[in-house]
Amino acid sequence: MSVRSVALTEKATRELSPGIYRDKRTPGLYLYVGKRSRSFRMIYKMKGKTRTHPVGRMDSGVDLEIARAEAKRVTNLIDAGYDPEQRDREAARFSSKSILFKDAWESYVTGHLSFRKNPKKEADVVKLGAAAFFEGRALQSITRDDAREVLRLKKQSAGKIQNDRLSQSGRQPKDNAGHFAARNLQTRLKAFFNWCIENDHIERNPFEKLGMSWDTPARTRALSLDELCLTMEVLPDHPSPTFRALFTTLVFTGMRDQSEACAAKFGWINERDQCLDLPKEATKNSQPYSVALPPLILSMFLHLRQIAVEDGTPDIDREFIFSTDGERRYTIPPGDREALLDLLPEEFEHFTLHDLRRSMATGLARIGVISKIVERGVLHHLPAGTSELERVYDRHEYLPESVVAVARWVETVEARLAYRENDRRICSIIDKEVADVENWAKNHPEEYDDIVMRNRPLTDSIGPKRTFSLAQFGRGHRGRKTRGKKTE
């Protein structure tokens, strides 16, 4: 049967006599007119072979406009290098078991995430960042463009919140604000869609190979010894006794703030070995280990336990060490963090509570503690490059060495605090501010010696001494001070 080229119209498609007609306006689109039916077909070449793609019959509702749209779709697939027949077979295979994002996510949370360490925290990342965007969508319909859009919106919203907080605290906005939140969301969703692939819900992960990069450099902030001393000097003026106790614990133990210190319970205190025994549920690597406690922190924990006993706590061993209401763990509200920043000078470089962990590791290295004790004993971290032989055979926990190391760290900080206090006293004696008392003393040796001789009781206080009082630590709101505004 011969093929005729015709500029098809809606009227012509209904009135043409039996035959095969090629549409002049749409390359590859043909109308087959028989005695009882009229149907559209797409004829194309793929890998050197001529193939036919059925578009649909007119008596089934496929008109010329629908046929041309389908022909355009097939042409675009061919131009992109895809086989339309293979794509249609995949669509037919998935159409019978199309699963909504919402249903798959609920199965993922209740099944897979429930065995993770922090299932609610991981689920909330997606719930707050993408659940509404993909509401009602089938998994198969989610594309890379959708993935890029949801990550772009997350970066934009999280960046605005972060920069607003920075502006309120008097700091400069960041160009990479929101990047960490977007990267975190991508990581969670990539894991979810990999789970969908493993369960045969989809065949491709839309959150892979997106071509998006995130500016999230690793934090390197480590407070110097004088910076740590400054924070400890202003800490007694902080309004929250619970925050004062927690902050001191982080400075002298190197524990992680949320997952370890805030989750600590009185039953974990080991007075005999001077440590805090953390179960695997509270550790990052899901392995139980013991955190060395210097005498100061051990005494503080026992002091807080006595307060809890006096408050009538029924099961003291299951009670959180840091708590504001005696029932729930202390979550370090933003207001308590900002209160500490308000007490520090404006030029003080910003730091996070997790930076205290890095600061302690750096300080221990400065005073000569060997790296293996710091890494494996104090921080409980196997650094990259640790040999497989050492991982398997070196089972020593380095707890006794860590107890000695953290005690030396407390003595170092206390000694520096005493020197700083002595410097302030000498400045008050000479009735003027001196930036560096040691250099001033070298330039004015006779005047300095005269001050030392005339003020022997003051200068004799130089050296290690206990500079912390247990009275400044507490639980709940007992001893909470009224927060005042920062003075100029």
Strand order in the sheet with 275-278: 269-270, 275-278, 289-292
pLDDT per residue rounded down to tens, the chain (488 residues): 688 898 999 988 988 999 999 999 998 999 999 888 899 999 988 878 888 888 888 888 888 999 999 888 888 888 877 777 776 665 555 544 568 888 888 888 888 877 676 777 778 888 777 878 887 888 888 999 999 999 999 999 888 988 888 788 777 888 888 898 889 999 999 999 999 888 888 888 999 988 888 887 778 899 999 999 999 999 999 999 999 999 999 999 999 988 899 999 999 999 999 999 999 888 887 788 999 999 999 999 999 999 888 888 788 888 999 988 777 889 888 888 889 988 999 889 889 999 999 999 999 999 999 888 888 888 887 765 666 777 678 788 889 999 999 999 999 999 888 888 877 776 666 655 555 666 777 787 777 777 766 655 443 444 444 456 666 676 665 545 554 444 33
Residue found by looking up tokens 């355009």 in the block: 72
List, in order, residues 6 or more apart from 190 with CB less than 8 Å away: 205, 207, 208
Separation CA 164–CA 5 (nearest Å): 65
Taken in order 110, 116, 121, 122, is the CA torsion positive or negative? negative
The tokens describing 310, both together, are: 């006096």
Task: Record the pTM.
Answer: 0.63
Separation CA 460–CA 453 (nearest Å): 10
Separation CA 472–CA 450 (nearest Å): 37
**Is 172 within 8 Å of 75 (Cβ atoms)?**
no
DSSP H or E segment with residue 121 = helix 119-129
* Domain architecture of the chain: domains with CATH: 3-95 (3.30.160.390), 101-198 (no CATH), 225-472 (1.10.443)
DSSP type of residue 141: G
3-class secondary structure, 223: coil
Separation CA 186–CA 213 (nearest Å): 11
DSSP H or E segment with residue 55 = strand 49-57
Other beta carbons within 10 Å of 16: 15
Q: Letter for the amino acid at 466? A: R
